Amino acid sequence: MKYTDKNRWVLSNWNSSEINDLIQGLKKIEKYTWAQIKTHGSKKPGLSVGTGYKLISNHPSLPENIPEDIKLSEMRIDEKKRIFGFRVDAVYYIVWFDRDHSVCPE
């Protein structure tokens, strides 16, 4: 939680059911290697399957403590919920917990 934004799209805004969804989604994601995560998403626009991993270039401003050279990415927890973060080596740092697909709506 080193780089988690403390002001926007915070986990403390989620209710217990949403947190349970998050835990289940993270359990699903942790089963995959990084190579699998990057390819375990929708191949066609509009489909919501897999982790939906994708790099995000057009995003809200990042917190000041985030390194400037990171590549922000999104992963799908379920149909609406997303996590946004970045990877350094084998660690994925979550920046935002998006409960209603509002960080980068499509």
Q: What is the pLDDT of residues 57-79, one digit of tens each?
A: 999 999 999 998 999 999 999 88
> Is the confidence at residue 48, as pLDDT, over 60?
no
Percent of all residues in the chain with a pLDDT value above 70, rounded to a whole number: 91
Mean pLDDT within 7-34: 94
Residues 83/70, Cβ–Cβ less than 8 Å: no
pTM attached to this predicted model: 0.88
Question: What does the alpha-carbon distance between residue 93 and residue 63 come to, in Å, rounded to a whole number?
Answer: 13
Q: Which of 29-33, 47-51, 56-60, 88-92 has the lowest mean pLDDT?
A: 47-51
Mean pLDDT within 24-44: 83
Question: What does the alpha-carbon distance between residue 89 and residue 14 come to, in Å, rounded to a whole number?
Answer: 29
